[in-house]
Amino acid sequence: MDPGNWATDLAGGARFGYTLLAVILLSNLMAVLLQALAVRLGVASGLDLAQACRSHYSKPVNLMLWIACEVAIVACDLAELIGTAIALKLLFGIPLIAGALLTALDAFLLLLLINKGFRLLEALGLTPLARIKAYANAGVDPKVMGMGPVPASKRCLERAGWSDID
């Protein structure tokens, strides 16, 4: 459970009241329970959940579990992709389709570079450079990219119609 999820959960609870906060609390408690059970499985058997399912269930059940996991992974990745495309739209004015394509290209670039070794990826920092190049190719003004988070955030608020907020 990463801090970003906690921040989003708390912000949602603050906005929608205790009803949503109770649902979020229960979902987080369930996540803690599932993580504790996964740790117990790993310590007791030396297997992760996928390996344990493969060894204890039949092929059709394993196939259905695999499909369910792939659908869940795609749903999570789709949320990340859409969120990044919206962020690029708000920060740089890039159209949503172009932002989604840039995000997908960035993910594939990361997968390509990670095969070369993660230390190489860290040392070169090519993914941020590729993003800057892609933004430049998309027609984003370099002055906008160099403005930093504060002016870009103010511009986002103005675009959203909240220009009176300081």
Give 18-65 pLDDT, tens digit per residue: 777 777 788 889 999 999 999 999 999 999 888 999 999 999 999 999
Residue 50 CA to residue 163 CA, distance in Å, equals 50
Which residues lie below 8 Å from residue 94, measured CB to CB, with a gap of 6+?
A: 88, 102, 135, 138, 140
Q: Global pTM? A: 0.53
Q: Domain spans of the chain?
A: 1-56, 59-166
Residue 38 CA to residue 11 CA, distance in Å, equals 29
HSE, side-chain direction, 13 A CA sphere, residue 47: 9
160/27: higher pLDDT: 27
111, 121 Cβ separation under 8 angstroms: no
3-class secondary structure, 117: coil
